[in-house]
């Protein structure tokens, strides 16, 4: 997974999806800067930028003004989305919001937002945590898109009148198909000239409807 995100051009291509969501598009300049920081190995900066982007985006995305860090895991389920999987965004959210109040200088490899933002985790500056921050951002985008899709009302059911009209039209077309019979015309037919005018574009000797 790290190799996929470390490919500069591949990650830039994936970032195009942010333009579809207005609240994320407003934060594009921060995401672009995080991309540059990631490529340059400034993982500490990349992580903090992406955490702020995710919090701000989720806070603005819905009328409920709560950032990602303030959401419960069950808030992040969405149908027709990879984040709805039992190992998806909701499951990963447990470590994201886990409290880390004690100062710790040991290396960490999870995206512990609480400990990173509040300064209790001191050794998070590595490509593993930075890559997980990117992965979390794209999971949040997937959740947002699935949430929007879920809100689209289903197509209205046809009325009995509309159903009857559709059946009548289908029956009329079927009767017309059943009544059609192929025939051939040729230059020897007495009414060939008239037929030719009524079937322009049909070469001599070919079947005509």
Per-residue pLDDT tens over the stretch 91-107: 555 665 666 678 999 99
Burial of residue 162 (CB within 10 Å: 0-12, 13-18, 19+) is exposed
Per-residue pLDDT tens over the stretch 105-118: 999 999 988 889 88
For residue 202, name the pLDDT band (cuts at 50, 70, 90).
very low
Q: What are 165's two structure tokens?
A: 């009209």
Lowest-confidence range among 65-69, 148-152, 176-180?
A: 65-69
Residue 148 has pLDDT above 50, yes or no: yes
> Which residue in this structure is represented by tokens 């990173």?
116
Residue 188 has pLDDT above 50, yes or no: yes
Q: What is the reported pLDDT for 120?
A: 92
Residue 85 has pLDDT above 50, yes or no: no
Q: Strand 207-208 and strand 183-184: pairing?
A: antiparallel
What is the mean pLDDT of the segment spanning 193-201?
51
Q: What is the reported pLDDT for 9?
A: 95
Burial of residue 155 (CB within 10 Å: 0-12, 13-18, 19+) is exposed
The mean of the pLDDT values for the chain is 77
The whole-angstrom separation of Cα 61 and Cα 78 is: 15
In the chain, what are the domain boundaries?
Answer: 2-150, 160-208
DSSP 67-124: -GGG--GGGG--TTSGGGSTTSHHHHHHHHS----S-B-S---S--HHHHHTT-B---
What percent of the chain shows pLDDT beyond 90? Answer: 34
Per-residue pLDDT tens over the stretch 10-59: 999 989 888 889 999 999 999 999 999 999 999 999 999 999 998 889 88
For residue 67, name the pLDDT band (cuts at 50, 70, 90).
very low
The answer to whether the predicted template modeling score (pTM) of the entire model surpasses 0.95 is no
Q: What is the reported pLDDT for 34?
A: 97
Q: What is the reported pLDDT for 80?
A: 42
The residues facing 104 across adjacent strands are 121
Q: What is the reported pLDDT for 58?
A: 85
């Amino acid at each position: 997974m790290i190799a996929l995100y470390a490919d500069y051009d591949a990650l830039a291509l994936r970032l195009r999806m942010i333009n579809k969501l207005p609240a994320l598009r407003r934060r594009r300049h921060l995401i672009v800067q995080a991309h540059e920081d990631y490529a340059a190995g400034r993982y500490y900066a990349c992580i903090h930028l992406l955490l702020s982007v995710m919090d701000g985006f989720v806070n603005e995305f819905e009328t409920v003004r709560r950032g990602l860090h303030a959401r419960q895991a069950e808030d992040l389920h969405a149908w027709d989305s990879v984040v709805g999987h039992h190992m998806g965004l909701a499951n990963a959210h447990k470590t994201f919001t886990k409290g880390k109040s004690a100062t710790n200088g040991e290396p960490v490899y999870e995206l512990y937002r609480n400990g990173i933002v509040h300064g209790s985790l001191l050794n998070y500056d590595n490509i593993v945590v930075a890559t997980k921050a990117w992965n979390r951002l794209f999971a949040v985008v997937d959740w947002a898109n699935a949430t929007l899709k879920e809100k689209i009302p289903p197509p209205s059911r046809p009325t009995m009148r509309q159903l009857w009209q559709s059946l009548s039209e289908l029956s009329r077309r079927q009767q017309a198909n059943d009544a059609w019979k192929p025939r051939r015309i040729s230059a020897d037919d007495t009414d060939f000239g008239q037929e030719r005018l009524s079937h322009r574009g049909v070469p001599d000797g070919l079947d005509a409807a």
